[in-house]
Structure 1
Amino acid sequence: MSRIDDTYIKDLLERLVNRPSPTGYTDEITRMCCDELSELGISYDITRRGAIRAKIEGENSQPARSIIGHIDTIGAQIKRLKENGRMSVAPIGTWSPRFAEGARCTIFTIDEGAFRGTILPLKASGHTFGDEVDTQEASWQNLEVRVDIRVEDKADLEAAGFNTGDFVAIDPQPEFLDSGYLVTRHLDDKGGVAAMFAAMKSLKESGARLPVDVYFLFSITEEVGHGATGVLTQDIASMIAIDNGTVAPGQESREFGVTIAMGDRVSPFDYHLTQKLIRLCKENDIEFQRDLFRYYRSDSASAIESGEDVRTALVTFGIDSSHGWERTHIHSLHSVARLICAYSTSEVEIPRDKEDLGDIEGFTEQPMERHKDEKWEGKDESPDRPKKE
Structure 2
Amino acid sequence: MNYPDTEQTMKLVANLVSIPSPTGNTYEVITFVEKFLNELQIKTMRNHKGGLIATIEGNDSSKHRMLTAHVDTLGAMVKEVKASGRLKIDLIGGFKFNSIEGEYCQIETNSGKKYTGTILMHQTSVHVYKDADKIERNQENIEVRIDEKVHNAEDVKALGIEVGDFISFDPRVQVTSSGFIKCRHLDDKASVAILMQLIKQIKTENISLPYTTHFLISNNEEIGYGGNSNIPEETVEYLAVDMGAIGDGQSTDEYTVSICAKDASGPYHYELRKKLVQLAEENHIPYKLDLYPFYGSDASAAIRSGHDIVHGLIGPGIDSSHAFERTHQSSIENTAKLLYHYVQSNLI
- Does the alignment reach a TM-score above 0.5? yes
Residue of structure 2 in register with 1:294 after alignment: 293
In structure 1, the residue matched to 2:11 is: 11
Is 1:43 matched with 2:43? Answer: yes
Equivalent residue runs for 1:142-157 within 5 Å? 142-157=141-156
Q: Which runs of 5+ in 1 are unaligned?
A: 350-389
Correspondence for 2:171: 172
2:332 alignment counterpart: 333
| Amino acid corresponding to residue 266 of structure 1 in structure 2 | S
| Partner residue in 2 for 1:316 | 315
Structure 1 segments of 4+ aligned residues over 6 angstroms from their partners: none
The whole-number CA distance in structure 2 between the counterparts of 1:112 and 1:343 is 41
Local SS of the residue matching 1:202: helix
- RMSD over aligned Cα, in angstroms? 1.1
Local SS of the residue matching 1:133: coil
Question: Which segment drifts farther, 293-302 or 133-142?
Answer: 133-142
| Structure 1 residue 204 displacement after superposition | 1.9
Contact 1:65 1:239 in 2 (8 A): yes
- Relative distance call for 1:112 and 1:182 in structure 2 (3 A) is closer
Partner of residue 249, structure 1: 248
Partners of 1:58 and 1:211 within 8 A in 2 = yes
Change (3 A) 1:2 1:204: farther
| Separation of aligned partners in 2, 1:56 and 1:222 | 23
Aligned twin of 2:71 = 71
Q: Which residue of 1 aligns with 2:238?
A: 239
Aligned pairs for 1:234-383 within 5 A: 234-349=233-348
Rounded Cα–Cα distance in structure 1 between residues aligned with 2:281 and 2:22 = 37
Match for 2:120: what amino acid?
L
What is the match of residue 360 of structure 1? none
Give the Cα separation in 1 of the matches to 2:153 and 2:138: 23
Once the two structures are overlaid, the 10-residue window that deviates more, 193-202 or 63-72, is 193-202
Residue 370 of structure 1 corresponds to: none
Give the Cα separation in 2 of the matches to 1:17 and 1:107.
17
* Cα distance between partner residues in 1 of 2:15 and 2:187: 14
Residue 209 of structure 1 corresponds to 208
Query: Structure 2: how far apart are the matches of 1:42 and 1:71?
Result: 19
Query: How far, CA to CA, are the matches of 1:57 and 1:82 in structure 2?
Result: 54
Any stretches of 5+ residues in structure 2 without a counterpart?
A: none
Give SS of 1:296's match.
coil
Question: Matched residue of 1:253: which SS?
Answer: coil
The size of the alignment, in residue pairs, is 348
2:53–2:217 contact (8 Å) kept in structure 1: yes
Tell me if the contact between 1:219 and 1:231 (Cα under 8 Å) persists in the aligned partners: no
Partner of 2:219: 220
1:181 CA drift (Å): 0.6
Q: How high is the sequence identity, in percent, across the aligned residues?
A: 36
Deviation at 1:206, TM superposition (A): 2.4
Q: Aligned to 1:16, what secondary structure does the other structure show?
A: helix
**C-alpha separation in 2, matches of 1:182 and 1:62:** 40
**How far is 1:162 from its partner?**
1.1
Give distance in 1, aligned partners of 2:56 and 2:330. Answer: 25
